[in-house]
Structure formats: structure tokens, C-alpha cells
């Protein structure tokens, strides 16, 4: 998947899940999503990518921590939440 545009990175109001929204070379938008295991938890499920976002439920890819790290490393985005997301993935879903 080739990212052509990043819309944003943020922490969700569900208790701490991380989201990275982007457009791919197919002109569709996707969400790289790392879901927190519980409210105020310090542990996360492995990352996934959804077409049209988490709420669509259209799962495109289930990633492991290593593949997720490679995906994020291929991106250039100067944003504090993005850097937090990269660190979270590098720590294999533990803060």
C-alpha cells in the first residue's frame, strides 16, 4: 500500500486508541488503527488497517508489530501524535 497523503494522527476518545488517517494510491482513504485493550490500559492490540476508517468495519489488513513498524517507517509526517504512534509500535503495543 502506497500512501499519497496523510490526513492526520490522533488519540481516540475510546480510552487511548491511536489512529492515522491517510489516502492511498487508489484514491481511497484508510485508517491505520491501534486499539487500546481497555480504558486507561497500557497495552494495545496489534495494528490493523481499515478502508474508510474503523467505523466502516471494512478490515483491509491485520499487521504484526514488525510489519506495522516498517509501514510507519516509510512515512514522513511531522506530528506529535504520529511520533507517539511510532513509539507505541516500536514498543510492541506497550507504553
Structure confidence by residue, pLDDT tens digits, 1-47: 899 999 999 999 988 999 999 999 999 999 999 999 998 899 999 99
Structure confidence by residue, pLDDT tens digits, 40-62: 899 999 999 999 999 998 999 99
Structure confidence by residue, pLDDT tens digits, 61-93: 999 999 999 999 999 999 999 999 999 999 999
pTM of the model: 0.95
- Strands (E) in the chain, as ranges, are 3-11, 18-24, 29-34, 48-51, 58-62
pLDDT for 3: 98
Other C-beta atoms lying within 10 Å of the C-beta of residue 36: 21
**Where does the pLDDT of residue 95 fall: very low under 50, low under 70, confident under 90, or very high at 90 and above?**
confident
Length of the chain: 95
Residue with cell 506495522: 68
Burial 42-60 (b: 16+ CB within 10 A, else e): eebeebbbbbeebeeeeeb
**Residue 90 backbone phi and psi in degrees, to 5:** -60, -35
Q: How far apart are CA 85 and CA 41, in angstroms?
A: 15
C-alpha grid cell, residue 84:
507517539
Residue ranges of the domains in the chain?
A: 3-91
Amino acid at each position: 500500500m502506497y500512501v499519497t497523503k496523510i490526513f492526520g494522527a490522533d488519540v481516540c476518545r475510546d480510552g487511548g486508541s491511536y489512529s492515522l488517517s491517510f489516502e492511498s494510491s487508489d484514491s481511497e482513504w484508510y485508517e491505520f488503527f491501534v486499539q487500546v485493550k481497555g480504558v486507561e490500559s497500557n497495552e494495545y492490540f496489534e495494528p490493523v488497517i481499515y478502508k474508510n476508517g474503523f467505523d466502516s468495519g471494512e478490515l483491509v489488513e491485520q499487521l504484526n508489530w514488525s510489519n506495522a513498524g516498517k509501514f510507519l517507517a516509510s512515512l514522513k509526517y511531522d506530528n506529535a501524535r504520529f511520533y507517539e504512534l511510532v513509539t507505541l509500535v516500536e514498543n510492541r503495543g506497550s507504553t
